[in-house]
Amino acid sequence: MEKQHYTRDDMAGLLRGHGINPTHQRIEIAYALFSRQEHLSADQIMAIVNDRHSETSKATVYNTLNLFKLHKLVREVIVDPSKVFYDPNTGPHHHFYNLQSGELIDIDARDVQIQGLPALPTGMVTEGVDVIIRIRPQHT
């Protein structure tokens, strides 16, 4: 487990460490993700950030998440055709995806080996490997 209690100041440092200018909105969005360590959709992030008084526009939420993605601060998780999840865990890991509840559970990739994969097409390079195990309650 990593550090558990992040402050907004930690976020500013984190952003700077990734070459991102830490504005108020960016700090709030980062804080939403990192303080919960959960997989959130853009929608959910917007709801969290604008909980009390509306502060941050839709455009900024999307801009910021794309910026974070570009700087490898968060990762996109694509498991549901209807929405993308953003994952503050950028270490190598895979996912259980609970089809009933929509919940995502991390699987540390260091424990997992995948064998017997064919060679990559020539001239190609691996950008990332996603393993998604879709699960559901027994006896549905």
Partner DNA sequence: TGATTTGTTAGACAAAGTCCAAACATTGGC
Partner DNA sequence: GCCAATGTTTGGACTTTGTCTAACAAATCA
Per CB under 7 A, residues contacting DNA are: 20-21, 23-26, 41-43, 54-60, 62-64, 66, 81-84
Contact positions with a copy of itself (CB under 8 A) in 28-57:
none
Q: Select from a copy of itself, DNA, none the partner in contact with residue 19, using the beta carbon and a kind-dependent cut-off of 5 to 8 Å.
A: none
Contact by Cβ (8 Å): 99, 46: no
- The smaller minimum CB distance to DNA, of residues 51 and 55, is found at 55
| Least Å from the CB of residue 113 to DNA | 31
In sequence order, the 6+-apart residues with CB closer than 8 A to the CB of 133 are 94, 95, 96, 97, 107
Contact by Cβ (8 Å): 84, 68: no
Contact by Cβ (8 Å): 71, 18: yes
Using the contact rule CB under 8 A, the part of the chain among 1-9, 24-32, 59-67, 103-111 near a copy of itself is 103-111
Give the interface size with a copy of itself as a residue count (CB under 8 A): 38
- The smaller minimum CB distance to DNA, of residues 81 and 128, is found at 81
